[in-house]
């Protein structure tokens, strides 16, 4: 190998998976975890791989993106997924764990590898050599400053303010119309949901009175100063948002031939236009209230959500514009993993930790990096997160809105379509893994 020592910063899900995978490939790994010397407002223990929110790793069903991701990680040899299965508690169709048992199992896996040295204490400077930064969404101020120097101040965000993303196949295209402002009807990059005055006033009434998520103490006012949620804008006056995100100027509703009273614009999230973002509607409403309120919008009555809007404290980089396809900072020995890449979710963190290890190993033995099939859950997420064409990058978890559509053109129910996505993905992954025995099998020494 060209090098055999790696420092992994962060002992969460991504960092733990990364360290274990690197150790299994012959590296001497220094795993740095700031706790217990320094903690974060979200942590309650000193353990590796602490689950700071829910104890659920989401669905195990293959006809869900979360379930497909687990199937992919199982094929790729994820150790933390195995720990999760061993720590599982009854949860119906989901994989939920006893969080204490899970952390203990992960720590046992780390301890069983003598080439992993766990170092407790805050990292305030990025060390020399090959480094994986997996410091999580609450990266310490000192390390955040170092990351900012590495990627540029404009490329590091401290708040996650994301608008909902909906499934294009569930939108009413008899109501929505395609038009960018001041362009010809039927052309442009946006879909528009038109509202008359009565519909607008009912929508604003629901938006401003809906239940909101209670922010944690460490988020508080700074979050709202950084990015106003749509419901807060609407509270400043009944027409405030009609002169902002819902302004109808330059639009013509083809059903009436007139400009609507207000309109919500939807922007495609991918080239295939299978998923759309509700432009300007970052929100702090609860998920249930988002579904109720946005279903009041003409054309969105039956919309299904790939991602609900969220607002919370979250340190992440503008991955599509500062990282390469392996989540490395070009020209450095630094690679990122976990939520600091802008990928969202427990299993997504595990997956990016695994990929960081594999790509570091590929670099060391001078073979091609991992290029997962884009039809898979993880391949599609990595593609989205590292595509320079991605606009307005915000944290994203795996979802079927990111995968290319099926090519056979058959009409299917949603469940059958999702199952077909999964079947296609696993077939493609199996073919890829068989071809890449240099990374996924055989003698790694």
Q: Binding site for FAD: residue ranges? A: 10-15
Residue of 233, 164, 246, 238 whose CA lies nearest to 204: 238
Binding-site residue ranges: 10-15
Q: Which residues contact 82 (CB under 8 A, 6 or more apart)?
A: none
DSSP character at residue 128: S
Q: Specify whether the CB–CB gap between 387 and 379 falls below 8 A.
A: no
Q: Specify whether the CB–CB gap between 327 and 352 falls below 8 A.
A: yes
Q: Specify whether the CB–CB gap between 347 and 355 falls below 8 A.
A: no
Other residues' Cβ atoms within 10 Å of the Cβ of residue 236: 12
Cis before residue 36, ω within 30 degrees of 0?
yes
Residue 404 and residue 273: Cα distance in Å, rounded? 9
Record the tokens describing residue 260, joined without a space. 């609507």
Q: Specify whether the CB–CB gap between 72 and 423 falls below 8 A.
A: no
Residue located via tokens 């071809």: 435
CA-based R_g, the chain, Å:
23
Residue 48 and residue 349: Cα distance in Å, rounded? 14
CA 240 to each of CA 234, 287, 353: distance values in angstroms, whole numbers, following the listed order: 6, 24, 43
φ, ψ at 402 (rounded to 5°): -90, -15
Record the tokens describing residue 286, joined without a space. 């609860």
Phi-psi region of 26 (alpha: psi -120 to 50; beta: other; left: phi over 0): left
Residue 128 and residue 118: Cα distance in Å, rounded? 18
DSSP character at residue 253: B
Give the pairing type, strands 130-133 and 334-336: parallel
Phi-psi region of 222 (alpha: psi -120 to 50; beta: other; left: phi over 0): alpha
φ, ψ at 38 (rounded to 5°): -130, 135
């Amino acid at each position: 190998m060209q090098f055999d020592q790696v420092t992994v910063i962060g002992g969460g899900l991504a960092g733990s998976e990364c360290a274990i995978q690197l150790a299994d490939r012959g590296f001497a790994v220094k795993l740095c975890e700031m706790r217990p010397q320094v903690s974060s407002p979200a942590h309650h223990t000193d353990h590796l791989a602490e689950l700071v929110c829910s104890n659920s790793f989401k669905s195990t069903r293959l006809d869900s993106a979360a379930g497909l991701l687990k199937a992919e990680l199982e094929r790729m040899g994820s150790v933390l997924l195995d720990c999760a299965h061993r720590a599982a508690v009854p949860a119906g169709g989901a994989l939920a764990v006893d969080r204490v048992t899970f952390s203990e199992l992960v720590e046992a896996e780390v301890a069983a590898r003598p080439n992993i040295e766990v170092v407790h204490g805050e990292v305030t400077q990025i060390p020399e050599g090959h480094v994986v930064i997996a410091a999580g969404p609450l990266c310490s101020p000192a390390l955040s400053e170092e990351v900012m120097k590495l990627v540029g101040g404009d490329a590091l965000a401290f708040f996650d303010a994301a608008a909902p993303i909906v499934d294009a196949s569930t939108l009413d295209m008899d109501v929505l119309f395609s038009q960018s402002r001041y362009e010809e009807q039927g052309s442009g990059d946006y879909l528009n949901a038109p509202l008359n005055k009565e519909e607008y006033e009912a929508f604003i009434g629901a938006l401003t009175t809906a239940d909101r998520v209670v922010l944690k103490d460490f988020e508080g006012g700074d979050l709202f100063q950084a990015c106003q949620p749509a419901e807060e804008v609407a509270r400043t006056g009944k027409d405030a948002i009609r002169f902002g995100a819902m302004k109808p100027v330059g639009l013509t509703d083809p059903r009436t031939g007139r400009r609507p009273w207000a309109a919500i614009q939807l922007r495609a999230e991918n080239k295939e236009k299978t998923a759309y973002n509700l432009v300007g509607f970052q929100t702090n409403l609860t998920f249930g209230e988002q579904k109720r309120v946005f279903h009041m919008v003409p054309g969105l009555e039956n919309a299904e959500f790939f991602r609900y809007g969220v607002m919370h404290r979250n340190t992440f980089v503008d991955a599509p514009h500062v990282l390469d396809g392996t989540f490395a900072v070009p020209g450095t020995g630094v690679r990122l993993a976990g939520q600091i890449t802008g990928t969202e979710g427990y299993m997504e963190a595990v997956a990016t930790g695994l990929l960081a290890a594999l790509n570091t190993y590929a670099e060391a033995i001078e073979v091609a990096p991992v290029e997962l099939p884009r039809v898979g859950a993880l391949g599609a997420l990595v593609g989205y997160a590292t595509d320079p064409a991605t606009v307005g990058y915000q944290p994203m978890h795996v979802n079927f809105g990111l995968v290319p559509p099926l090519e056979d053109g058959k009409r299917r129910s949603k469940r059958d379509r999702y199952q077909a996505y999964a079947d296609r993905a696993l077939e493609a992954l199996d073919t890829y893994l068989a071809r890449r025995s240099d990374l996924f099998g055989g003698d790694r020494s």
